[in-house]
Amino acid sequence: MNDRQFCKAFCDEVALREVPLGYVLKTPFRRDDGDAIAIYIRRHHELDAFRLEDDGQTIGYLEAAGVDLDADSRFEALTDLMREYAVHYDERGVLLHTGYVHEANLPALAVKFSAFLLRVYDLLLLARNRVRSTFRDDLIAMVESQFGASCRIDLNVPLQESMKDYVIDILVRSPGNRVLAIYAGTSEMKALEALLFWRESREQKVQHVRSMLVLEEAKPRDIKDRTLSRVMNSDILLASMDGEEIAIRRKMEFNLLN
């Protein structure tokens, strides 16, 4: 092992080419959509200096992916990063950029600016976690409005002592002792949890219990097709909140109260 091996891994994908405003630098890093992160190097001829810029699409990409930069937490996170990395935002040009530096300082600045852009894209994780949390909260609210007056509703609990390792997102018990075990399908892990609970219920021959996996949209990108196929081939009730709230309510009521 030597440093050249690491240098090769980092540098093989780096490419620099000349463009009208100066240069564009392709970095070895990628956004989650697979596109390489590019840095533009703008030359100021009068100052004989350069500054680094994003491609002008970073802010738009974040907003399109669900990052609400009008929200206080997201805006504060972005401004904190800009302050930490000495980066400025040009609202008119929709550009994130550094200050001007001499050519000798560009390589070190490019490394720092790349780190900044990677951390900016981490804001996507905040957005996705927020979406998952909001979806789960909406599902809980729907269940409570539907059955709160007539059924017992528990959150994040096992069905019974013999299944204490299988925690259910929303457990609804009817007066007739029928049970609906509802999982919020926010991730691959949640879909697998629903499958494992369904399988264990069969193994223990648990009576009057139905498992249900509720998705936010009909084709969730966070759950593998193979896992969805396994759910569809099981006895698990599968539903999507994507414009089907009335159908979900009816399916829940039919399997719990009838």
| CATH at residue 204 | 3.40.1350.10
Examine the fold and report which residue of 77, 96, 121 is the final residue of a domain before the chain moves on: 121
Residues 137 and 104 in one domain: no
Examine the fold and report which residue of 62, 97, 121 is the final residue of a domain before the chain moves on: 121
Note down the domain range covering 81: 3-121
Residues 138 and 214 in one domain: yes
The pLDDT of residue 72 is: 54
Residues 149 and 60 in one domain: no
Residues 110 and 137 in one domain: no
Minimum mean pLDDT range among 35-44, 80-89, 124-133, 134-143: 124-133
Residues 218 and 245 in one domain: yes
Read off the pLDDT band of 134 (50, 70, 90).
confident
Percentage of the chain surpassing pLDDT 90? 51
Write the DSSP assignment of 83-134 as a string of letters: HHTT-EEETTTTEEE---B-GGGHHHHHHHHHHHHHHHHTHHHHHHHHHHHH
With DSSP H G I counted as helix, E B as strand and the rest as coil, what are the percentages for the chain, rounded to 5?
Answer: 45, 25, 30
Q: pLDDT tens for residues 186-236? A: 889 999 999 999 999 999 999 999 999 999 888 887 889 999 999 999 999
Residue 143 lies in a domain: yes
Residues 101 and 38 in one domain: yes
Secondary structure of residue 195 in the 3-state scheme: helix
Q: pLDDT tens for residues 7-34? A: 888 888 888 999 999 999 999 888 777 7
Residues 155 and 217 in one domain: yes
Q: Which helix (H) or strand (E) holds 63?
A: helix 58-64
Q: pLDDT tens for residues 66-122? A: 666 666 566 777 889 999 999 999 988 889 999 999 999 999 999 999 999 999 887
Question: For the whole model, what pTM was predicted?
Answer: 0.54
Residue 112 lies in a domain: yes
